[in-house]
Amino acid sequence: MIPRLESLLPRPAPDGAPRMTPGNPERYVPAEVERKWQERWEAEGTNRFTEAELRSAEAPFFNLMMFPYPSAEGLHVGNIYAYTGADVHGRFHRLAGRDVFEPIGFDAFGIHSENFALKAGIHPMDLIPRNIATFTRQLRRIGGMFDWHHAVDTTTPDYYRWTQWIFLALYHAGLAERVEAPVNWCPSCKTVVANEQVIGGLCERCDTPVGQRRIAQWFFKISRYAERLLSNLDTLDWSEPTKKAQRNWIGRSEGAMIRFPLRESAQGEGPDGAAGEDAIEVFTTRPDTLFGATYMVLAPEHPLVDRVTTPACARAVARYRDTVSRMDLVARKKAGKAKTGVFTGAHCVNPATGAPIPVWIADYVLMEYGTGAIMAVPGHDERDHEFARAFGLPILRVVAPEGEDPGAPLEEAYPGEGTMVNSGRFTGTPTPEGRGAVVSWLSRLRLASPQVNYRLHDWCISRQRYWGPPIPIIHCGACGAVPVPESDLPVVLPRVEDFTPDDSGTSPLARVEAWYRARCPACGGEARRETDVSDTFLDSSWYFLRYPSSHENERPFDPELNRRWLPVDSYIGGQEHNVLHLLYSRFVTMALHDLGHLEFEEPFVRFRAHGLIVREGAKMSKSRGNVIVPDPIIESHGADALRLYLMFLGPYTEGGDYRDQAIQGPFGFLKRLWETVTPVSELGDGPPHPDVERKLHRTIRQVSAQIPELQFNTAVAAMMEYLNAVRRGDRKAARAEVEPLVIMLAPFCPHIAEELWERLGAEGSIFETASWPEFDPEKTIEEEITLAVQINGKLRGRIAVPAGSGEAEALARARKEANVARYLEGAELRRVIHVKDRLLNLVVSVAQERP
RNA sequence: GCCGGGGUGGCGAAAUGGUAAACGCAGGGGACUUAAAAUCCCCCGGGGGCAACCCCUUAUGAGUUCGAGUCUCAUCCCCGGCACCA
């Protein structure tokens, strides 16, 4: 890339000449360098904010990364990868002049630790501190810029006191309610599992098939926020796939509510009950197909089922409902299984046609979505079609795609758009228009209204387990569910030696009478504490709010600190949290905003998901036994080399393949850098060599642009190229050539950068005394560049031209190039395309065959 | 099925519509060494040619363009997520 350099610099030394300067016997020993600087950072508080500094920081930058779940196995390379990328980003901004707050903590409650503790026979209260100690040691060892002074641990009463406080805040705002609901029940974990934690019918944690139970549980009414959670996404600087995943999860759909009046009795010929009390309401996105609704389906659990079922059908209906209720929620919802259902004996009136249509129940209709009832349009909905075929129900065409005969029978459902047919006054209307037209027609008769529905359902936070913060509620026979007064927080989780879950459907805490017996805060009578604990997602939905205020005892967070530090400037984490964690955090933040506790309603200004690390092409997992533990690598090559390698092995947001041998490259780079810079006394004092300088400014330009975009792999490659240029031909480096490189490398390899920076004569940490190098655009310009010459789009030669040469100049030089001339000979030049400083394409018509 | 992300040398990868394979790993050859390690130098997509050079090559097939890894359409395959959501 620096064509002239080789000619100007000393020739390469003859083969085999030792590269190490004789006067420089000191080798790069990462372990020593890293120990020295980690100790110094700690002793001097390099990465720590004092209370006063937090309050007065002028250019605050909150650099957040998803805090770890401290498992017993310790951190693996995948975790290190995530944290290193975030740390590189934070360190860069610090060198660029920001006051970077980079806290870390531990998300240590939850079923995972609890299960491990049960299996290992260690109490979680003993296990977790051990795990945290291991994680802390490992995190320190990789040289993250963490402010340990502000670490949080979600299992400490100091923390979960405020988790409970948030529950109460939402409770008082009417955003928490206790509802009996069918829930997924894992017979192995012996607890309720959230829908989103059931993967393909199996428990996310233990792969046991999940069943169904009805339990009274606490729900947060996140669905009230669906519209805001959706529309705010447009304002966020988040990775697009993450936003898309949230949009899908929220699942907004526009349609209408339509009322189907019930026919009072089968034999009644009288006027079909005008929009009276007895009607079945359905939600549909396709009111334009209303004329094709030939039957209705209620969810088996629908409250109207008992009312409408005729005596003749009662037994079959009861039997069917029983079968369905035995099925777990997930199997129940599994798509693709054969349609089943039974007729209730009742009929409704299609409000568009006035025709009576039968009412069925079937498990393909879900109680939790819409109204739990549908109008079935077998002509234009695949599921309804399949059902109608199975039970011999009429299938009517009411939509015809362009060119289709309105009378053509339907072999399969046609769900697309077209023209309405067989639809009375609407026949001939294009379906997109028809939707609104049908609704406005029926809305005058109070039989329909426009409606928006969301797939997002309320957030169940109850867990019938031990290892979590108790839900701060007291149940009183007289007063009902009474919130624990704020002044009584925290409701401390007692140490219970036997916390094995049982199949009672209640938490192990329900066996600890001394703990759950309480006085009702309202009436003072005998009462009982809520024995369920809350979901781990609640712990992690607000931890970032706590970091700056981690020492605050009187309130969850200090509004003044929040004003300075929040919302979070940069959040980096795994895509496995694209939906739930990020959505719950947004919801809690939004709710706290509405309650006047926060000034912002979106917690994370910028979010980027990092990729996943695989090993030698295979996914890393304990069962495969191919999990990479960082410690031996740090011992052999150093944390800096590991960090650099991880950042180099592929695009950060896409992840990459960890190959054991490949660390040699980055490690060798660090060794060469060390040998290039030390001993400092042998560095040249003059200005940089012009070619090296040009390369330097180009490198600064590239690295400065790419680090904020998390394009670490190419930034590292640029620095490698630059060092290669500095060392080319075994030349001696000048101080001015290496100093900027040391600074640019510092975010990736902070220890060696500190060491070299000190040897270069600085006093104090590079992160406090250095500033990010600037590039001069003037100095990035090459005087002479290589221009590619194409004939008819094929590369036929390269010519050297002065930078900025015009077309005439380029063409003249190209003609002199032998190979180019060969192609021009006897050909007619029809067109010249000249891209300045890049390429010259000569379009010729071939007069004769080339030799 | 739907929604995302991908498919480029032996491998990890790089490339504002403008010189495909930067940077690195592995491999081959060489220097140094009693030897090895370490280090350094050279080579390294496929084919043809003594060479100058030529042909082919970014999953496949079409298209747009002076020019396509990059844009458009269709097809195949891999990874991740969601999945009877009316």
With contact defined as beta carbons under 8 Å apart, do A61 and A49 qualify?
no
Averaged pLDDT, A531-550: 95
Subset of residues 777-796 in chain A with CB less than 7 angstroms from any atom in strand B: 785-786, 788, 790, 792-796
Residue A626 CA to nucleotide B47 C1', Å?
40
pLDDT at A254 (0 to 100): 92
C-alpha closest to that of A839 among A804, A806, A790 = A790
pLDDT at A277 (0 to 100): 57
Residue A843 CA to nucleotide B64 C1', Å?
18
Subset of residues 340-379 in chain A with CB less than 7 angstroms from any atom in strand B: 363-370, 372, 374-375
- Check whether A403 has a pLDDT greater than 80: no
Averaged pLDDT, A105-123: 89
What is this model's ipTM? 0.95
Subset of residues 482-521 in chain A with CB less than 7 angstroms from any atom in strand B: none
Q: For A354-373, how does the pLDDT look when each residue is reduced to its tens digit (9 = 90+)?
A: 999 999 999 999 988 999 99
- Check whether A222 has a pLDDT greater than 70: yes
With contact defined as beta carbons under 8 Å apart, do A569 and A63 qualify?
yes
- Check whether A13 has a pLDDT greater than 60: no
Q: For A253-302, how does the pLDDT look when each residue is reduced to its tens digit (9 = 90+)?
A: 999 999 999 986 543 333 444 334 589 999 999 999 999 999 999 999 89
DSSP A727: H
Query: How far separated are the first and last CA of chain A, in Å rounded?
Result: 33
Q: For A126-154, how does the pLDDT look when each residue is reduced to its tens digit (9 = 90+)?
A: 999 999 999 999 999 999 999 999 999 99
> Where does residue A136 rank: exposed (0-12), middle (13-18), buried (19+ CB within 10 A)?
middle
Nucleotides of B under 7 A from a protein CB: 3-6, 11-16, 18-20, 22-26, 30-32, 39-42, 52-55, 66-68, 79-86
Q: Report the alpha-carbon distance of residue A710 to residue A93 in Å, rounded.
A: 12
- Check whether A172 has a pLDDT greater than 70: yes
User: For chain A, which domains are there?
Assistant: 5-27+616-779 (1.10.730.10), 45-153+541-610 (3.40.50.620), 176-220 (no CATH), 252-454 (3.90.740.10), 783-845 (3.10.20.590)
DSSP 3-state of A723 = helix
DSSP one-letter string for A49-111? --HHHHHH-SSEEEEEEPPP---TT---HHHHHHHHHHHHHHHHHHHTT-EEE---EE---SH
The two beta strands, A211-220 and A176-186, are antiparallel
Residue A478 CA to nucleotide B77 C1', Å?
65
Q: Could you give phi then psi for residue A168, rounded to 5 degrees?
A: -65, -40
- Check whether A485 has a pLDDT greater than 90: yes
With contact defined as beta carbons under 8 Å apart, do A46 and A40 qualify?
yes
Starting from the edge strand earliest in sequence, which strands make up the sheet with A295-298, in order?
Answer: A342-349, A356-361, A295-298, A373-376
* CA A87, A91, A97, A101 torsion-angle sign: positive
State the helix-helix crossing angle for A630-637 and A30-44, rounded to 10 degrees. Answer: 110
**Does residue A838 reach within 7 angstroms of strand B, measured from its CB?**
yes
Averaged pLDDT, A549-553: 93
- Check whether A556 has a pLDDT greater than 90: yes
pLDDT at A604 (0 to 100): 96
Averaged pLDDT, A763-770: 94
User: Would you state the structure tokens that stand for residue A346, as one six-digit string?
Assistant: 């009742």
Answer whether the bond into residue A679 is a cis peptide, omega within 30°: yes
Portion of chain A with pLDDT greater than 70, in percent: 92
pLDDT at A851 (0 to 100): 38
Q: For A423-472, how does the pLDDT look when each residue is reduced to its tens digit (9 = 90+)?
A: 999 999 999 999 999 999 999 999 999 999 999 999 989 988 899 999 99
pLDDT at A847 (0 to 100): 52
- Check whether A492 has a pLDDT greater than 90: yes
Task: Let me know how long chain A is.
Answer: 851
C-alpha closest to that of A178 among A221, A226, A210 = A221
pLDDT at A736 (0 to 100): 93
pLDDT-based confidence at residue A214 (cuts at 50, 70, 90): confident
Residue A647 CA to nucleotide B63 C1', Å?
39
Subset of residues 629-688 in chain A with CB less than 7 angstroms from any atom in strand B: 648-651, 654, 656-657, 659, 661-662, 664-666, 668-669, 671-672
Q: Could you give phi then psi for residue A524, rounded to 5 degrees?
A: 80, 0
pLDDT-based confidence at residue A4 (cuts at 50, 70, 90): very low
Portion of chain A with pLDDT greater than 90, in percent: 66
DSSP 3-state of A620 = coil
> Where does residue A20 rank: exposed (0-12), middle (13-18), buried (19+ CB within 10 A)?
exposed
pLDDT at A204 (0 to 100): 65
- Check whether A195 has a pLDDT greater than 70: no
Q: Report the alpha-carbon distance of residue A381 to residue A375 in Å, rounded.
A: 10
Subset of residues 698-737 in chain A with CB less than 7 angstroms from any atom in strand B: 711, 713-714, 716-717, 720-721, 724, 730
